[in-house]
Structure 1
Amino acid sequence: MTDEDESDLLAELRRPRPYPAVSVTLPTHRHRPENQQDHIRLRNLLGEVEKRLADDPEVSREQAAAVVRQLTEAVDELDPEHFLEGLVLFAAADEARTYLVSAEVPERIVIGDSYLTRNLVAASARQIPYLALILSTGEVRLWHGVGYELHELDHDEAGFPVVSSGAERDGAPTRSGDHAAEQDFRNMLAEADRKLTPLLQEAALPVVLVGLRQHIATFRELSRHGAVLATDLEVGGLLQTTAAELVEQLAPARSALAAIDAEEALKALDAARSGRRYSAGVQDCWQTAREGRIGHLVVEETFRVSARPEEVEGAPRASLVLTGPDSEGAEDDIVDSLVELVLEADGDVTFVPEGALGEAGGIAAALRY
């Protein structure tokens, strides 16, 4: 999905809907037996939704039945064997949407007049596109990944795999005194590096190097793309690995890429602070987002604020009235709307671990001006 497609989807999901619009999020698991328990917990959440709708004086019996029916049908179609780290489920009287996300989400039920999209944004922020270069003695293969989606780039797409003209497969890259074999190996790596050039010109994606330590060291020595060689995974024997197997092996690399992304976001905030293009706290970020001035919004993953936007005619600033989540006109999590404002203005959003922003109050932004 392109950034434009994602922004359009989030905007469509956030558009006002007839009350009640229900958002359900649940942390899930990929493997047995935990994922079987996830389905039971999900059924329990649906029971809680049904109870809350039945107790809500603003919801008619017909509306409640319609929403519960949509939720039940959506859950019936879910297969726990395909669960990832999180589940996001949206439902109204006339629709239901389900999203499996590769990021942990809280267990929550939110009933309002729009869907809660921040978990999709946070999950997407973790879906960092990358290239994985699988190094071996006689062959180099290239994979393209976005989160847990992974596919191998073939000859037509990128000119891979690159095969050595003489080195033995599955052996050591060189033998003492075997200069021909060593040169074949180095030539193969240099050719693989050359084939990366047009791909990186299209999009400067981070590259994960996968292989034995000596393979990685030699490639780094030869490469002209050191700036994007983001992280290493020192493991051999993955040349013929399936996508499903390889994506599990790449978990540490994806975590490293997410940490790098968070670090770069924090550096961008430091530079903005030095250049007096910085905003911190939910009130100031709300104001600058409304003005379209935020270039990069950084939010701690656990940061939530219930608030009601307030426009006062003639007032110089758009403000927020902090409230409880059940107050009239309040949004359960105003950060969701704030994120949407930034995305609509072509800004970036990064979620960072709790406490990473220090005294900024859980949210901060680098401003365009």
Structure 2
Amino acid sequence: MSDPITRETLTDLVKLEEQICLSVYMPTHRTVPERDQDPIRYKNLLRELREKLAAQHPDADHDALLEPFETLLDDRDFWVYLRDGLAVLGGEHFFRVFPLQRRVPEIASVDVRPYLKPMLRVAQSADRYQVLCLARDDVHLFEGNRDVLDEVHMVDEVPRNQNEALGSDLTEATQSGNPGGYSMASERGDPMQHEAGGSGKQDEIDLDRDRFFRKVDAAITEYYSNPSNLPLLLVALPENQSVFRTVTHNQHLTEEGIDLDPAALDLEELRKRSWEVMSKKYRERLDGIVDRFGVSQGQGLASDSVKDIGQAAVAGRISTLLVEAERVIPGELDQESGEVRMSSATDQGSHDVLDQLIPRVLQNGGEVIVVPADQMPVETGAAAVYRF
């Protein structure tokens, strides 16, 4: 009962027609005893959600809107396998559940659109990546960020080993040649490599590996890399790195990989080594974004004025929108004129301008990036680079 965060998912959410939308966010825990308290916190948020719903929409069918939210309380397995955060979004015509790899604040929101900014803080963060751990006859996929790495339970279309990929076409194990492809010296990465067994049979065994890698590449690209748009880091022995990079068509594969046997790394070591590589890309991306904003601002093609950004968003002029993480700007964006009317956070039914800007920019094909407060180039909470 959970959904992956993909570009298609986000596009579907931001394009929803106006309706009564309920949004719940909360931090969750991986271990007891804290994990046992998560359903209680969730139940309290549902109580708050019901109160807001009654105040803002007294004539709506409250029970029908809240029913799928309340059903989660009875799913014991659901609460056991959560990660660091949870987003539950629902309305008259949709219901989505997103376990998150990052903590989010407790929020119970009722609005005409789902409250997306906390989830976009996770989805649009520049530090997300995936890791492909590959051996001759084994494959695992992980997804994470600077703080955490979790294994992905892959769809059945991804072959887990050569037998799943090739079936009856797999070279029989009784044939001459080393199914590992080279002598043990090669598997250790030693420079003096020599093939074991007859070269003809060994060629067939190596061909099996190539075909297995091609099928893995195609499935990972189709079901994970393209939908998520995340960089993919390859962890494999040097020989397997070379072969996979020869056959891959995955445009998200990073140039730098980790030349080690994945089986030799526990999860924490894999996370540390992966982030050592990915942190460089993360810093480069953020630096490039900030530099681009500075250059564009000098050319009159950027702004940090929330009111100017509102008009540009409605006009479809925004190429890139930077949003400060966890910042809230109370107010209303006029979806026709782009006028931003500021309000007080204490106003009944006050909305967040940033949460209204984000879907409008995405709807018009712009990019939204949520940036940590200490790395934002401005103090206003938002910065936009214009197309024209």
Q: 1:172 to 1:99 in 2, by over 3 A?
A: closer
Give the Cα–Cα distance (whole angstroms) in 2 for the partners of residues 347 and 164 of structure 1.
47
List aligned pairs for 1:310-321, cutoff 5 A. Answer: 310=334, 318-321=338-341
Question: 1:206–1:230: 8 Å Cα contact kept in structure 2?
Answer: no
For residues 156-177 of structure 1, the C-alpha deviation after alignment (integer angstroms, 9 at most, x for no partner) is: 9999x997532318963217xx
Please say if 1:302 is aligned against 2:326.
yes
CA offset at residue 25 of structure 1?
Answer: 0.8
Q: Which residue of 1 aligns with 2:376?
A: 357
CA offset at residue 359 of structure 1?
Answer: 2.7
For residues 183-236 of structure 1, the C-alpha deviation after alignment (integer angstroms, 9 at most, x for no partner) is: x9xxx8xx79x969x86999796342435xxx569969x978999536655864
Aligned match for 2:295, one of 274, 277, 282: 274
Give the Cα–Cα distance (whole angstroms) in 2 for the partners of residues 74 and 44 of structure 1.
13
CA offset at residue 29 of structure 1?
Answer: 1.8
TM-score, normalised with respect to structure 1? 0.70
CA offset at residue 258 of structure 1?
Answer: 7.2
CA offset at residue 35 of structure 1?
Answer: 1.9
Give the Cα–Cα distance (whole angstroms) in 2 for the partners of residues 170 and 37 of structure 1.
51
Q: Which structure dedicates a bigger proportion of its chain to strand?
A: 1
Give the Cα–Cα distance (whole angstroms) in 1 for the partners of residues 278 and 9 of structure 2.
23
Q: Which residue of 1 aligns with 2:102?
A: 103
TM-score, normalised with respect to structure 2? 0.67
If asked which structure has higher relative contact order (CA below 8 Å, sep 6+), I would say 2
Aligned match for 2:73, one of 60, 72, 75: 75
Structure 2's unaligned 5+ residue stretches are 145-149, 171-177, 196-201
Structure 1's unaligned 5+ residue stretches are none
Aligned match for 2:231, one of 206, 223, 242: 206
Q: SS of the residue aligned with 1:238?
A: helix
CA offset at residue 345 of structure 1?
Answer: 1.0
What RMSD in Å do the two structures reach over aligned CA positions? Answer: 4.8
Give the Cα–Cα distance (whole angstroms) in 2 for the partners of residues 130 and 95 of structure 1.
28
Q: 1:360 to 1:230 in 2, by over 3 A?
A: farther
List aligned pairs for 1:1-369, cutoff 5 A. Answer: 3-12=7-16, 15-18=17-20, 21-52=21-52, 56=55, 58-60=56-58, 63-77=61-75, 79-92=78-91, 97-126=96-125, 128=128, 130=130, 132-134=132-134, 139=136, 143=140, 148=150, 149=152, 151=154, 165-168=181-184, 172-174=188-190, 178-180=192-194, 206-210=231-235, 215=237, 229=254, 236=261, 238=263, 250-252=270-272, 253=274, 257=278, 260-261=281-282, 263-275=284-296, 276=299, 277-310=301-334, 318-327=338-347, 330-331=350-351, 333-369=352-388
Q: Percentage identity across aligned positions?
A: 20
CA offset at residue 49 of structure 1?
Answer: 3.3
Give the Cα–Cα distance (whole angstroms) in 2 for the partners of residues 205 and 5 of structure 1.
14
For residues 28-59 of structure 1, the C-alpha deviation after alignment (integer angstroms, 9 at most, x for no partner) is: 123333222211211222233345556x3x55
How many residues end up aligned between the 2 structures?
342
Q: Which AA in structure 1 matches 2:10?
A: E
Give the Cα–Cα distance (whole angstroms) in 1 for the partners of residues 330 and 319 of structure 2.
24
Q: 1:231 to 1:103 in 2, by over 3 A?
A: farther
Give the Cα–Cα distance (whole angstroms) in 1 for the partners of residues 93 and 257 of structure 2.
48
Give the Cα–Cα distance (whole angstroms) in 2 for the partners of residues 304 and 263 of structure 1.
27
Give the Cα–Cα distance (whole angstroms) in 2 for the partners of residues 195 and 68 of structure 1.
46
Give the Cα–Cα distance (whole angstroms) in 1 for the partners of residues 258 and 386 of structure 2.
36
Q: 1:3 to 1:206 in 2, by over 3 A?
A: closer
Give the Cα–Cα distance (whole angstroms) in 2 for the partners of residues 308 and 9 of structure 1.
19
